[in-house]
Amino acid sequence: MKEEDYIRVLFPNYFKKIGLGLIVLAVLTAIILSLCRFNIFAHGNFVFREGFFCLLVIGMFLYAFSKEKNEDERLSAIRNRVMTYTFYVGVSVTLTITILNIFLKSNSNNQGDYKAIDLIFLMFCFYIFLFITEKRK
């Protein structure tokens, strides 16, 4: 079977392991730091917090967009469907938070901790969860 366009844009299968490794590394680092009574989510620890999320998002990105061992047209259809749902979730969450901010009269400089990386993290969580669930059906 010739390699279709949708398969060509994905990373090779071994990137899935690299992605998983980065996710495990990020989570383990956070756990070890918290065991050492170092809260990476505290206000003063901006670098650690952002580093943790960057590592996590890179890992999730590689995991989500690398080929399965047997990538075929059914998986491509699932990817398309899951991607659409993920986009809906991203838009819904962004709009909900924005509207809530309007009603709570927050100004643009004080929107809590909601940032682009948080949205991307949430979208990747949703994408990976839904893709694995749909794939197993």
| Shortest distance in whole angstroms from residue 135 CB to other proteins | 7
Size of the site for other proteins (CB under 8 A): 10
77 near other proteins (CB under 8 A): yes
80 near other proteins (CB under 8 A): no
| Shortest distance in whole angstroms from residue 110 CB to other proteins | 48
| Nearest CA among 16, 14, 5 for reference residue 131 | 16
Contact 127, 82 (CB under 8 A): yes
What's the rounded Cα separation, in Å, for the pair 66 and 97? 31
8 near other proteins (CB under 8 A): no
70 near other proteins (CB under 8 A): yes
Near other proteins by CB under 8 A: residue from 13, 14, 73, 98: 73
132 near other proteins (CB under 8 A): no
72 near other proteins (CB under 8 A): yes
| Shortest distance in whole angstroms from residue 75 CB to other proteins | 8
